[in-house]
Amino acid sequence: MGLFDEIKKKLSHEFIDIVEWLDSGNDTIVHRFERYQNEIKNNAQLIVREGQTAVFVNEGQLADVFTPGTYTLNTKNLPILTTLKGWKYGFDSPFKAEVYFVNTRLFTDEKWGTKNPFMLSDDRFGLVEIRAFGTYSFRINDPGKFVVDVVGTDGNFTNYEVNEHLKSLIVTRFTDTVGEANLPIELYAANTSELSETCQEVMQPEFNRVGIELERFYIENVSMPEELKKEIFEYSRLDKLDMAKLSQFKAAKAMEAAAKNEGGTAGAGMGMGMGFVLAQQMGNMMGQNMGQPMGGQVQQAPSGPPPIPAQTNYFYALNGQQAGPVTFDRLKELFAGRTINRDTLVWKQGMDNWASLKEIEELKSFLGGNTPPPLPSA
């Protein structure tokens, strides 16, 4: 081989066209290969690295897609583009095509959250507002579909841009899924794992439509207004505690607060009064039926306890089903907790038919507003 041939061979290698993308950051999802007038030479070298896919687009139409590897670009390796261009017998260099490199690695720890609180309907507390936030992971599993349907002609499509698209989709589907779960409001925070899995299953088809795979979806927190939290805690305590013991506990707390009151004689008098009341209640609870009570008079201990008064039991209708029997106090708790209301049908022994709660005389006290009639005129 002569000197001229060596120089010619060297020059031909130096001017080989190389199509590649070196990712210099972690936030780029799609990068368009820039070339003057999008011209690529015949037999150019295409280098696709691990974690990348190269997508060729011709005049807005998806052509060939290349997975990791090194390729020589000609009619053999560009069958779809060759068909679109009408290269029956090869083509003259250069040719025009848009090349998009798609980052196919897993994008992790992406944040999502509800910008505004959304409404839920709870059987006991009515309409309530809650917020939620968490993280998710995704990867591009169909680069061609993603470039055509999402990227369009964007030359540098970043993680921020795709997240703005995905967050709106996530919040919409999350709100629908949580609303259809129909859980008691206090159980949402305790079932985030189950809700996360359900939401991922619901969202996956939506992600697939644009070439994205939702790898993981996590709900980290479900929050609600502080006043609603206090109401839920109070309701749960009332549902578990014995009402008599709760009254005694509150009386003791009131006496403690009065004793600490530095309001002078009035505060001291109130503290003493509460002390007398509590002492009497504690004496009754401890069975001090012998000896000298607070009044200073000796009383004869009764020979035995009085008979236990018979309690009236009530049945009530709930969701078209008969429930009960329950006592008067339990029925009052159900009314206070909004399980039943003034129009709920109630029946007790001695009644001919069911009647609404507001029509039963001894239950009208639940409704409040008991005021005496006006005095007769002189």
**Domain containing 193 — which CATH number?**
3.30.479.30
pLDDT: which is higher, 7 or 218: 218
Out of 24-38, 190-204, 242-256, which region has the weakest mean confidence (pLDDT)? 242-256
Q: What is the mean pLDDT of residues 243-255?
A: 67
Let me know whether 183 and 247 are in one domain. no
pLDDT: which is higher, 66 or 375: 66
Let me know whether 253 and 162 are in one domain. no
Let me know whether 116 and 218 are in one domain. yes
pLDDT on residue 140: 92
Let me know whether 210 and 237 are in one domain. no
pLDDT: which is higher, 238 or 57: 57
Evaluated on CA atoms 351, 352, 357, 359, the torsion sign reads negative
Let me know whether 135 and 203 are in one domain. yes
pLDDT above 70 (res 239): no
Structural domain includes residue 73: yes
C-alpha closest to that of 29 among 82, 128, 98, 101:
101
Structural domain includes residue 300: no
Each residue's pLDDT tens digit, 137-149: 999 999 999 988 8
Let me know whether 52 and 151 are in one domain. no
Q: Identify the domain boundary among 224, 240, 272.
A: 224
Structural domain includes residue 293: no
C-alpha closest to that of 314 among 335, 295, 296, 286:
335
- pTM value is 0.53
Structural domain includes residue 288: no
The CA radius of gyration of the chain, in Å to the nearest whole number, is: 39
pLDDT on residue 142: 93
Let me know whether 96 and 147 are in one domain. no
Each residue's pLDDT tens digit, 72-116: 888 788 888 888 777 766 666 677 888 999 999 998 888 988 888
pLDDT above 80 (res 317): yes
pLDDT: which is higher, 19 or 376: 19
pLDDT above 60 (res 5): no
pLDDT on residue 15: 44
pLDDT on residue 376: 67
Q: State which residues form the domain around 15.
A: 3-103
Q: Count of domains in the chain?
A: 4
238 confidence band (pLDDT: 50, 70, 90)? low
Structural domain includes residue 351: yes
Contact 166, 35 (CB under 8 A): no
Let me know whether 137 and 160 are in one domain. yes
Q: What is the mean pLDDT of residues 251-257?
A: 73
Q: Identify the domain boundary among 52, 72, 103.
A: 103
pLDDT above 80 (res 52): yes
Structural domain includes residue 279: no
50 confidence band (pLDDT: 50, 70, 90)? very high
Token pair for residue 115?
């910008």
pLDDT: which is higher, 366 or 214: 214
Let me know whether 140 and 216 are in one domain. yes
Structural domain includes residue 215: yes
Q: What is the mean pLDDT of residues 334-360?
A: 88
Contact 135, 218 (CB under 8 A): yes
Contact 250, 238 (CB under 8 A): no
Let me know whether 138 and 219 are in one domain. yes
Structural domain includes residue 12: yes
pLDDT above 80 (res 182): no
Let me know whether 82 and 184 are in one domain. no
Q: How far apart are CA 257 and CA 274, in angstroms?
A: 10
Let me know whether 148 and 53 are in one domain. no
Mean pLDDT of all residues in the chain? 76
Q: Identify the domain boundary among 46, 72, 103.
A: 103
298 confidence band (pLDDT: 50, 70, 90)? very low
Q: How far apart are CA 182 and CA 123, in angstroms?
A: 9
pLDDT on residue 321: 86
